[in-house]
Amino acid sequence: MVRKLSLLFAGALMGASAMSLVYGSPSSTANAAGSETYKQLAIFGDIFERVRAQYVTPPDEKSLVENAINGMLTSLDPHSSYMNPEAAKDMRVQTKGEFGGLGIEVTMENELVKVITPIDDTPAAKAGVRAGDYIAEIDGEEVRGLTLNDAVEKMRGLVNTPIKLTILREGADKPLEITIVRDIIKVKAVKFRVENDVGYMKITSFTEKTYDDLENAIEKIKSEVPDDKLKGYVLDLRLNPGGLLDQAVSVSDAFLDRGEIVSTRGRDPKDISRFDSRPGDDIDGKPLIVLVNGGSASASEIVAGALQDHRRATVVGTRSFGKGSVQTIIPLSENGALRLTTALYYTPAGKSIQGKGISPDIKVEQPLPEDLAGRDVSRGESDLKGHIKGVEESDEGSGSAAYVPPDPKDDVQLAYALELLRGEKTDPAFPPNPDKAVMNNQ
């Protein structure tokens, strides 16, 4: 059940939050609207007043306005939206990568919050919270009836403030009451380990801390495995919904020695921004394999596309999500924000992956477990209602299955990558030839 919920949540995240972020200015101006537009706005005002005055029950006026604004924005594309102050604050917390909280990864099961795992050396871990625990009450308030986001928001809070959790634990004869004092939780954007003679790095999201976490991972791997024994690296971008554009550029730059990483193109044909790499390859030219699937979106696709076009890495897995648009975050009054699609991004070869995705150099399907067999677990931008149609989008669409087995022993895609790096498998696409890099001449 947990696997299903986690998978569905990943899919929902793709539609709502998988984006590259560029922070904009609240002082941006637009061209003046025509007289016909103002007539339509007058009609809107008339309807609003009639609803406010005559609807059968008194409506929440703030919600009416917010829903009207979101209706306008979501009619543009699935990634443009209005964020009220609470949503804008949550977005800033997510992209910063640290917050005041407990230090647990959770999901929702049977209307209760289930602990997937406590993060090492955090208040929750120190207080004795265990994987598999169910949180039934938060400060005396029942969790039943709350959404997962509501429950998470209640558990976050000011540093050094206490919170009491009522926990149901298998084997315990009665509920446990645990008081935890919140602390700064720094979410690791990069998880890593050594697979004997291969360095494995999984980027879970592109926050303000991603590049620093990646650099730390590379240093630790180098310190654990002698250079003459290290066969190469695996960069796992599966189920990564994206994040900050500048972090995607920095991560790509860590492995590239020269050339363009990505370009963004706005409404005006002259509005083109290019991001280039700097000299220096942080893994010293070692072989690199990038893993992608239908859960790899936005910033993940920028990295995979750049390394693929430069022939710096071999991309293994299945077709990525296909979100090739850039959202500008424009601060508004009262701490709200407008998230507006303002550009599309292109790989170094000049390819738009909007609605198309990154096609792997070596396609390796990940078998589904019995409880997901026969279900449609594919995720893709081309499936989203109202998405911007990409210039290279075809009937084939974008995306693929968004599933990674929880146990690495069952991970067919990872196993394939390790066998390639160790020379146990061969393929014409590995190792790639940098002399055959595909660059855009425009």
What secondary structure does DSSP assign to 267-299, as a single string? SSTT-EEEEE--S--TTTT--EEEEE-TT--TH
In the residue annotation, 191 being an active-site residue is answered as no
Structural domain ending residue among the three candidates 164, 186, 208? 186
Q: What residues contact 407, with CB distance under 8 A and at least 6 apart?
A: none
CA 353 to CA 322: how far, in whole Å?
5
Structural domain ending residue among the three candidates 165, 186, 207? 186
Shared domain check, 277 and 405: yes
Nearest Cα neighbor of 221 from 284, 298, 314 is 284
CA 253 to CA 258: how far, in whole Å?
8
CA 305 to CA 263: how far, in whole Å?
11
Residue 399 has pLDDT above 90, yes or no: yes
- Is residue 230 within 8 A of residue 266, CB to CB? The reply is no
Highest mean pLDDT among 7-11, 96-100, 386-390: 386-390
Q: What is the pLDDT of residues 23-58, one digit of tens each?
A: 455 544 556 667 888 888 999 999 999 999 999 999
The residue whose two tokens read 């315990």 is 172
In the residue annotation, 28 being an active-site residue is answered as no
What stretches of 324-385 show up as alpha helix (H) in DSSP? Answer: none
Q: How confident is the model at residue 88 (pLDDT cuts 50, 70, 90)?
A: confident
CA 231 to CA 205: how far, in whole Å?
26
Q: How confident is the model at residue 372 (pLDDT cuts 50, 70, 90)?
A: confident
Expressed as residue numbers, the domain containing 163 is: 98-186
- Is residue 243 within 8 A of residue 230, CB to CB? The reply is no
3-class DSSP state of 24: coil
Sign of the Cα pseudo-torsion (416, 421, 423, 429, in order): positive
Residue 153 lies in a domain: yes
Structural domain ending residue among the three candidates 162, 186, 210? 186
What pLDDT does 305 receive?
A: 98
CA 231 to CA 430: how far, in whole Å?
13
The share of the chain scoring above pLDDT 90, in percent, equals 66
Shared domain check, 323 and 208: yes
What pLDDT does 17 receive?
A: 36
What pLDDT does 19 receive?
A: 43
> Which of the two residues, 372 and 56, has the higher pLDDT score?
56
Reported as type and span, the H/E element at residue 338 is: strand 337-346
> Which of the two residues, 393 and 104, has the higher pLDDT score?
393
Highest mean pLDDT among 80-84, 107-111, 144-148, 423-427: 423-427
Vertex 244, ends 239 and 246: CA angle to 5°?
Answer: 125
What pLDDT does 22 receive?
A: 47
Nearest Cα neighbor of 401 from 294, 323, 305, 268 is 294
What pLDDT does 59 receive?
A: 95
303: left (phi over 0), alpha (psi -120 to 50) or beta: alpha
Reported as type and span, the H/E element at residue 7 is: helix 2-17
Shared domain check, 211 and 156: no
Residue 214 lies in a domain: yes
Shared domain check, 309 and 263: yes
Shared domain check, 343 and 285: yes
The residue whose two tokens read 């002399």 is 435
Backbone angles phi, psi at 121, to 5 degrees: 60, 40
**Mean pLDDT, rounded, of the chain:** 88
Shared domain check, 431 and 380: yes
In the residue annotation, 385 being an active-site residue is answered as no
- Is residue 298 within 8 A of residue 241, CB to CB? The reply is yes
> Which of the two residues, 382 and 87, has the higher pLDDT score?
382
Catalytic-role residue among 250, 298, 352, 378: 298
CA 208 to CA 324: how far, in whole Å?
20
Shared domain check, 194 and 171: no
- Is residue 227 within 8 A of residue 218, CB to CB? The reply is no
CA 182 to CA 189: how far, in whole Å?
20
- Is residue 152 within 8 A of residue 127, CB to CB? The reply is no
Nearest Cα neighbor of 102 from 54, 43, 29, 157 is 157
Q: How confident is the model at residue 103 (pLDDT cuts 50, 70, 90)?
A: confident
CA 278 to CA 286: how far, in whole Å?
18
- Do strands 314-317 and 288-292 pair parallel, antiparallel, or not at all (unpaired)? parallel
Rounded alpha-carbon distances, angstroms, from residue 426 to 196, 218, 362: 20, 26, 11
Shared domain check, 155 and 199: no
Catalytic-role residue among 253, 309, 361, 383: 309
CA 119 to CA 109: how far, in whole Å?
20
Nearest Cα neighbor of 247 from 93, 79, 97 is 97
Q: How confident is the model at residue 441 (pLDDT cuts 50, 70, 90)?
A: low
Read off the DSSP letter of residue 373: T
What pLDDT does 225 receive?
A: 97
What stretches of 55-207 show up as alpha helix (H) in DSSP? Answer: 61-74, 85-96, 123-127, 148-155
Shared domain check, 408 and 318: yes
Shared domain check, 237 and 346: yes
CATH number of the CATH domain containing 146: 2.30.42.10
Q: What is the pLDDT of residues 234-287, one digit of tens each?
A: 999 998 988 899 999 999 999 999 999 999 999 998 899 999 999 999 999 999
Residue 400 has pLDDT above 50, yes or no: yes
Average pLDDT estimate for 9-27: 39
Average pLDDT estimate for 219-247: 95
Please tell me the pTM assigned to this model: 0.82
The count of structural domains within the chain is 2
Catalytic-role residue among 114, 323, 351, 356: 323
Rounded alpha-carbon distances, angstroms, from residue 159 to 99, 180, 207, 387: 9, 11, 21, 40
3-class DSSP state of 331: strand
| 331, amino acid identity | P
Shared domain check, 246 and 347: yes
Helix axes 245-255, 299-309, angle to 10 degrees: 30
Residue 228 lies in a domain: yes
Residues in the chain: 442
CATH number of the CATH domain containing 345: 3.90.226.10
CA 21 to CA 107: how far, in whole Å?
26
